[in-house]
């Protein structure tokens, strides 16, 4: 580092450390409207997507550019070693893409029994083949307009020349380092001065920039079948992992379509299993069948009747999810069975309008993530999500590449006979899910998602309820206090949740915990883009650093 650069870095540190980054006063955001919009969890990523639209690209180009930037500016939620999923309305047809990775060929229950009888959260033995890069390539090749290399330029510039770390991400960065700082490659990449960057400090990663250049020059081939794949496999072998070049070369992203559920005048679409989106569809399907078949909506949105019913439907859906969700090639109970009208009616009948339950899964008769949304003036809409899983994921970073790797392997179980039991070349049950709503007449309505592990299907249910059933605008839906079921009769709520409502839920038997702190840690971050006539209305979650932009 030159003397001038050192001085600049010191000045940046001094300037950022002198500011108080807390937000002690109530504030609000307005919904953003325009004919072209991008909504993400970090402002620089949103602006990168908007730049592609202004350059003549479409919503897919915008989504890819934003996703690439997020691997640089929000490493606490995603990276070059993440997984990804997308739902895209191309103006005529809805497409679903599953770019989650599969397990190494060596992974068996016996493999993990020798390691102590559990699948770890950290290290190489938590890493499945990363799929996000393949998502970018597949989307660009099939639906994009601009050259792939052009889409990567904003991310390359931020990685090489630096960007100011935003406040929420700085907090998550410090927390992640406390847990993962000893993992191979982590400190070298994310703690270059022996510590994590503070809010407002400039962070650079030349290695990340070079890797992005190699990915774009080869349209992903170097990542799965070339130089980068060889580096990943070598690092795995050197650190007790099972990943090989053959595992990486075997990866593919799959166009899988969607699964859907009617909800009032809308049809909600999710990616089929291995994603958890089917739980949101089940909960919404149950809510349409309560109150004597009239469906949710008779009581006010934030009334105890509506919230209680929503929690109970979600608990029933999650009980089924944890028992039945798995790689689509290994399912024992299929989506059509879980979404069958008779089964949803049967499950909805279990909802007691006055008392909380502790539900178990049913048996149908045979028969720390980033999310973004983009839409353009030609009618294309994109719902896209990519994630490390738990914050920085496994904590593993391949030296000299900037490739930080997810820990999706921890999503498997070792329970013999379970549909989600670990096996070679298998996708684990996955938390990250994009969502899309269509009008019943087949026209597009809303791209939306909520980041945050098991919160995601719960967040989808709450967003659909607020916007599609009760007519809240997207920003209000993102702002609203959230609940999260935690197991049994447990429910967690945010500190600004209505106190009287908390007591009313407790009176019905819910074991409610008010969770202090920043909601992004446990209640996720939402982005929503609603189509209305010839323009869009977008909201972005205040729990994150991001925003929606439009023109």
Catalytic residues: 369
Contact by Cβ (8 Å): 88, 374: no
Nearest to 77 by CA among 459, 542, 545: 545
For residues 88 and 58, what is the distance between their CA atoms, to the nearest angstrom?
12
DSSP conformational letter for 468? I
- Alpha carbon 287 to its chain centroid, in Å, reads 24
Give the H or E element holding residue 38.
strand 37-40
Q: Which residue has the tokens 């909805």?
A: 348
> What are phi and psi for residue 363, nearest 5 degrees?
-125, 100
Contact by Cβ (8 Å): 140, 465: no
Contact by Cβ (8 Å): 101, 128: yes
Alpha-carbon torsion (149, 150, 152, 158), positive or negative = positive
For residues 38 and 540, what is the distance between their CA atoms, to the nearest angstrom?
10
Angle at 393 between CA 333 and CA 276, to 5 degrees: 20
Contact by Cβ (8 Å): 258, 328: no
Please state whether beta strands 490-493 and 511-514 pair in parallel, antiparallel, or not at all (unpaired).
parallel
DSSP 146-161: S-HHHHHHHHHHHHHH
Tokens of 414: 């070792």
For residues 353 and 263, what is the distance between their CA atoms, to the nearest angstrom?
20
DSSP conformational letter for 101? -
Contact by Cβ (8 Å): 417, 96: no
Alpha-carbon torsion (75, 77, 82, 84), positive or negative = negative
Cα–Cα distances (Å) from 524 to 14, 148, 297, 368, in that order, read: 31, 30, 25, 9
Q: Which residue has the tokens 């949103």?
A: 46
Contact by Cβ (8 Å): 430, 408: yes
Nearest to 259 by CA among 312, 341, 345, 338: 338
Point out which residues pair with 33 in neighbouring strands: 537
**Count of beta carbons in the 10 Å neighbourhood of residue 295:** 19
Cα–Cα distances (Å) from 83 to 2, 137, 384, 540, in that order, read: 37, 13, 11, 22
Q: Find the helix packing angle between 148-161 and 206-218, rounded to 10°.
A: 170
Angle at 386 between CA 257 and CA 410, to 5 degrees: 100
Nearest to 372 by CA among 146, 213, 538, 536: 538
Contact by Cβ (8 Å): 102, 251: yes
């Amino acid at each position: 580092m030159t003397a001038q650069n050192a001085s600049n870095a010191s000045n940046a540190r001094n300037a950022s450390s002198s500011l108080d980054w807390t937000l002690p006063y109530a504030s609000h955001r307005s919904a953003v409207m325009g004919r072209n919009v991008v909504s993400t969890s970090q402002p620089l990523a949103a602006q990168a997507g908007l730049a592609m639209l202004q350059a003549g690209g479409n919503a897919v180009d915008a989504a890819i550019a934003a996703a690439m930037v997020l691997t640089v500016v929000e490493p606490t939620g995603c990276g070059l070693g993440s997984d990804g999923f997308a739902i895209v309305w191309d103006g005529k047809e809805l497409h679903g893409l599953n770019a989650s990775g599969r397990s190494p060929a060596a992974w068996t229950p016996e493999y993990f029994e020798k390691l102590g009888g559990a699948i770890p959260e950290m290290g190489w033995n938590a890493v499945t083949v990363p799929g996000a890069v393949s998502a970018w390539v597949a989307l660009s090749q099939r639906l994009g307009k601009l050259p792939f290399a052009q889409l990567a330029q904003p991310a390359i510039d931020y990685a090489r020349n630096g960007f100011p770390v935003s406040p929420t991400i700085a907090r998550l960065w410090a927390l992640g380092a406390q847990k993962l700082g000893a993992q191979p490659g982590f400190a070298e990449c994310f703690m270059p001065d022996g510590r994590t960057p503070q809010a407002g400090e400039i962070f650079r990663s030349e290695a990340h920039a070079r890797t992005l250049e190699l990915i774009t020059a080869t349209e992903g081939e170097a990542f799965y079948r070339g130089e980068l794949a060889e580096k990943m496999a070598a690092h795995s072998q050197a650190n007790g992992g099972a990943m090989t070049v053959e595992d990486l070369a075997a990866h593919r992203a799959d166009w899988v379509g969607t699964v859907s559920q009617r909800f009032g005048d809308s049809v909600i679409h999710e990616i089929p299993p291995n994603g958890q989106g089917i739980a949101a569809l089940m909960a919404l399907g149950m809510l349409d069948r309560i109150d004597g078949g009239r469906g949710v909506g008779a009581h006010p949105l934030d009334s105890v009747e509506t919230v209680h019913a929503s929690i109970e439907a979600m608990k029933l859906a999650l009980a089924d999810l944890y028992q039945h969700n798995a790689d689509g090639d290994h399912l024992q109970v299929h989506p059509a069975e879980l979404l069958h009208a008779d089964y949803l009616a049967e499950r909805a009948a279990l909802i007691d309008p006055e008392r909380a339950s502790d539900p178990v899964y049913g048996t149908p008769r045979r028969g720390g993530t980033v999310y973004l949304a983009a839409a353009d003036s030609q009618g294309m809409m994109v719902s896209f999500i990519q994630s490390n899983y738990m914050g920085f994921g496994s904590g593993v970073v391949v030296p000299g590449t900037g490739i930080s790797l997810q820990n999706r392997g921890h999503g498997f179980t070792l329970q013999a006979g379970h549909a989600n039991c670990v096996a070679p070349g298998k996708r684990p049950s996955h938390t990250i899910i994009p969502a899309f709503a269509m009008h019943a007449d087949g026209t597009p309505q809303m791209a939306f998602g909520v980041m945050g592990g098991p919160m995601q299907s719960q967040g989808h249910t709450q967003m659909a309820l607020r916007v599609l059933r009760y007519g809240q605008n997207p920003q209000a839906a993102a702002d609203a206090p959230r609940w999260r079921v935690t197991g049994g009769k447990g429910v967690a709520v945010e500190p600004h949740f209505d106190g009287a409502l908390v007591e009313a839920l407790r009176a019905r038997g819910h074991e409610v915990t008010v969770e202090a702190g920043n909601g992004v840690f446990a209640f996720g971050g939402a982005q929503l883009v609603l189509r209305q006539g010839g323009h869009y209305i977008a909201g972005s979650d205040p729990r994150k650093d991001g925003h929606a932009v439009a023109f």
